[in-house]
Amino acid sequence: MLRTWRTRASQHILGGSCKLPSLMVAIMAVLIGLVSPVKSAQPVAVLTYNQYIGGDLGSLVGIPPDDLNDAFVGFLRQVAATRFLDRADRQAEQIAKAHPDLVALQEVWDLACFDLEAPAPGQGCADPSIAGAFVDHLPATLDALHAHGLPYALAAKVTMGFFAGGGGIPFRVNGHLARVVPRDGNAILANTATASAVAPVQFPSTLCQTADDGCIFTIAAPLTLPTPLGTVTVSGQRGFVAVDASIRGQRYRFVDTHLYLPPPGVPPEIQCSQAAELVSVLAVTTPASRSLVLAGDFNSDPRDQPSPGVLPTSLPLPPFCRGAAVLPPYQVVVNGGFTDIWLRRPGGLPGYTCCQAADLRNQQSSLSSRIDLLFSRDPPLLVRHASVSGVEVADRTSPPGLGLWPSDHAAVTATITLPDAPE
């Protein structure tokens, strides 16, 4: 309505009998909006995707020591059976459909295996039932994207270190001793055709525990596991990484995170404190000249409610992360001034993103929670599109009826227009 009024007014002033000097005409055109002196905001497309290691790590928690080795070998067999290389191709297809400018990936695993005895065919790491588990997700993902002709490159990553105390997890398979060193990470990919001036954000070491291009959260929940070579410590680390990029002339800061999923008995304060650390670091490090988008697997649904804390209240935690009503991460982020982009989309679809069966072989999608999220610091002017993908039967790997879901999570994508940040 306003645009129509402005157009008609300009026609009346400029096309009538009144003769105005050319300078006055130009000034009037600016004032009524015929010519805009301010650069208009441009859309950006973003996507977040948890790639999934391929097995249920939580199943190893609480296993009796005498049963842990067999359970861990069973885990590796499941990871092998969920064939990441095949799934990476399907994940690349989901990215191709959305064609985002920036991609946030979580559970970007690298499972490396080392024989602790003289290797022989069919022994240790080469055991055919587990050999397929040992894949480095990042190069495999980039290869799959490039095979589809997609111009994506690694922009930044953060690796959470060795999963098990730096030395990996020893195990025996068919009587042969080997060690797995699993490393988990987050990675940001940039579309080289649309994103320019892409650079990792260098967070100050005074504000967070820096690693690679990002940060590792201060508080984690280490676990101990009995192995054939003694007890090892599982770090339980999580972190975040960010890039600055220019897309269609607008400057963005894009952040990728993965918050800890507490197994039963782990204090809720850990998740809360990670979310609080993330929000506080971003608040003091993100310049006003950057439109801020936050993506990731938050392991927290908007429906989550505060829960009683179990850690001593004397610990140096934010007030909302201790006591009888510890806030869930989703609420911490929203209270920190972020807007849930999904809630600004047209339509009322729930947007569930988690989770398929651990073996990825469930015939119908079983997603029932929304924990993979996209936030913006400023409310979007427009959410042109927001959807989940990788949830249709046709998205599964071949053969039909026997294929695997691309991940136990759905991908979430959105095309949004944010206010142009001030210079």
Q: Where are the beta strands (DSSP E) in 228-346?
A: 230-234, 239-247, 250-258, 291-297, 339-340
pTM of the model: 0.88
Residue-range domain boundaries for the chain: 1-37, 47-417
Q: Residue 93 half-sphere exposure, CB side, CA atoms within 13 Å?
A: 17
Closest CA to 289 of 39, 103, 33: 39
Query: What pLDDT score was predicted for residue 121?
Result: 64
* CATH 3.60.10.10 applies to domain 47-417: yes
CA 149 to chain centre: 23
- Tell me the backbone φ, ψ of residue 41, rounded to 5 degrees: -70, 145
User: Residues 372, 396: contact at Cβ < 8 Å?
Assistant: no
pLDDT band, residue 154 (cuts 50/70/90): very high
Tokens of 395: 């998205």
User: Residues 117, 177: contact at Cβ < 8 Å?
Assistant: yes
Tokens of 114: 């080392």
Lowest mean pLDDT among 162-166, 329-333, 358-362: 162-166
Using DSSP, state whether 192 is helix, strand or coil: coil
| 167-225 tens-digit pLDDT | 788 999 988 999 998 889 999 999 999 999 999 999 999 999 999 999 999 987 777 77
Q: Is the pLDDT of residue 160 over 60?
A: yes
**Average pLDDT of every residue of the chain:** 86
| 327-359 tens-digit pLDDT | 999 999 999 999 999 999 988 889 999 999 999
Q: Is the pLDDT of residue 292 over 90?
A: yes
DSSP per-residue codes, 336-384? TT-EEGGGGSSS------B---TTS--SS----B--EEEEESS--SEEE
DSSP per-residue codes, 33-51? TSS-SSPPP-EEEEEEEE-
Query: Could you tell me the CA-to-CA distances from 380 to 41, 185, 340, 377, 416 in Å, in that order?
Result: 10, 29, 10, 9, 6
Q: Which residue has the higher pLDDT, 10 or 356?
A: 356
Q: Is the pLDDT of residue 26 over 90?
A: no
User: Going by DSSP bridges, is the β-strand pair 230-234/223-227 parallel, antiparallel, or unpaired?
Assistant: antiparallel
Give the span between the Cα atoms of 275 and 266, in whole angstroms: 16
Q: Is the pLDDT of residue 118 over 50?
A: yes
DSSP per-residue codes, 69-104? HHHHHHHHHHHHHT-HHHHHHHHHHHHHHH--SEEE
Tokens 């064939």 belong to which residue? Answer: 83
Q: Is the pLDDT of residue 58 over 80?
A: no
| 64-80 tens-digit pLDDT | 888 999 999 999 999 99
Tokens of 120: 């022989």
**Over residues 316-325, mean pLDDT:** 93
User: Going by DSSP bridges, is the β-strand pair 382-389/411-417 parallel, antiparallel, or unpaired?
Assistant: antiparallel
DSSP per-residue codes, 133-176? G--BHHHHHHHHHHHTT--EEEEEEEEEEESBTTT-EEEEETTE
Closest CA to 109 of 46, 190, 180, 170: 180
DSSP designation for 326: B
DSSP per-residue codes, 108-122? --EEEEEESS---TT
Query: What pLDDT score was predicted for residue 30?
Result: 31
Q: Is 390 exposed, middle or buried (0-12, 13-18, 19+ CB in 10 A)?
A: buried
pLDDT band, residue 307 (cuts 50/70/90): very high
Closest CA to 182 of 117, 232, 257: 232
| 400-414 tens-digit pLDDT | 667 999 999 999 999
- For the chain, the first-to-last Cα distance in angstroms comes to 30
Using DSSP, state whether 310 is helix, strand or coil: coil
